[in-house]
Amino acid sequence: MSLFIATIIIAILFVVKKLSKVYKSFRIKEKLLSKNYKDLYDIVQNCLVNNPDEQLCIYQFLCPKEVKGKTRVLVGKKGDGSYVMLDDFENITIAYSIGIRDIIQFDKALADKEIDIFMYDHTNDKLPYENNKFHWKKIGLGGNSERKNNIQTLEDMIKDNGHIQERNMILKIDIESNEWNSLNDISEKTLNQFKYILIEYHFFNDSNILYYNVLKKIFKTHQVFYINCCPYLGEYTFGNNRICKSLEVSYVIRTGNTFEPDKTIYPIEEFSYGFNPVFDINILKLFDNYKQ
């Protein structure tokens, strides 16, 4: 009898847990709708059902998901130059940090984890300070057609450093809108060398086919698990809602990970510098039903 009762209790707890998830999902959708998102549903459905390859559907590739069994952590002191990652640095020994200026708190935080940081910025004459884990070159990142003395592709950098066979690396890119051409020429094989990809995307406020192609390519190999608005570079409207022209996006490789609908309400004050709840990132979740 006691075994039977225990079985019933376990079943009840299972049902309650499932109902709790359904309720949370309902509350998220209710909050989204309460912010005048009803005008966007037709746009989203048109993207997902009728014209999934339309440039209008660029946001389907930026819908964040939760990574099962993993928690998000801020790497670097809260502010410009920090990035949100997962609390999972197992077997990571190499990172590429492209676009430095004088903000290297993220790099220092990785160095403290005994990760070697290969740092690139052709606008710097030197780093603010040295660290035995920093490996800096006065070289910028570009696409295949942009190669010159101080510009290389990511593949060039990886080859020069002897990292062609490496996996589980970190890639951080913040190069003021030059990311698009650079990423457009990166192969899927190279993308798969990186466990994490952290990018500040700039100015994708129109239906540029280049933006669409880049986001779609990265979406094949990596999933967004965090997204943040950069509030200093202007805004535009999507439906009747305001969103930033620049977004910080954190990806993790799909291989070896399981993803679930993201219950987070954005922005997250704990992680977001220049916190401004006026800029609404939750509208990207309207694409949550997108299927690969």
Q: What is the pLDDT of residues 135-189, one digit of tens each?
A: 999 999 988 888 888 899 999 999 999 999 999 999 999 887 788 888 999 999 9
Q: Tell me, what's the pLDDT at 292?
A: 45
| This prediction's pTM | 0.82
Q: What is the mean pLDDT of residues 200-222?
A: 82
Write out the two tokens for 287: 């694409």
3-class secondary structure per residue, the chain: CHHHHHHHHHHHHHHHHHHHHHHHHHHHHHHHHHCCCHHHHHHHHHHHHHCCCCHHHHHHHHCCEEECCCCEEEECCCCCCCEEEECCCCCCCEEEEECCCCCCHHHHHHHCCCCEEEEECCCCCCCCCCCCCEEEECCEECCHHHCECCEECHHHHHHHCCCCCCCCEEEEECCCCCHHHHHHCCCHHHHCCEEEEEEEEECCCCCCHHHHHHHHHHHHHEEEEEEEECCCCCEEEECCEEEECEEEEEEEECCCCCEEECCCCCCCCCCCCCCCCCCCCHHHHHHCCCCC
How far apart CA 280 and CA 69 sit, in angstroms, is: 27
Q: Tell me, what's the pLDDT at 135?
A: 95
Write out the two tokens for 5: 């009762």
How far apart CA 187 and CA 180 sit, in angstroms, is: 13
How far apart CA 230 and CA 248 sit, in angstroms, is: 7
**Has domain 35-287 been given CATH number 3.40.50?**
yes
- Condensed to tens digits (0 to 9), the pLDDT of residues 223-249 reads 999 998 876 767 766 666 677 778 889
Single-letter residue type at 286: L
Phi, psi of 120 (to 5 degrees): -135, 130
Domain extent listing, the chain: 35-287
Task: Label residue 28 by pLDDT band (50, 70, 90).
Answer: very low
How far apart CA 264 and CA 226 sit, in angstroms, is: 9
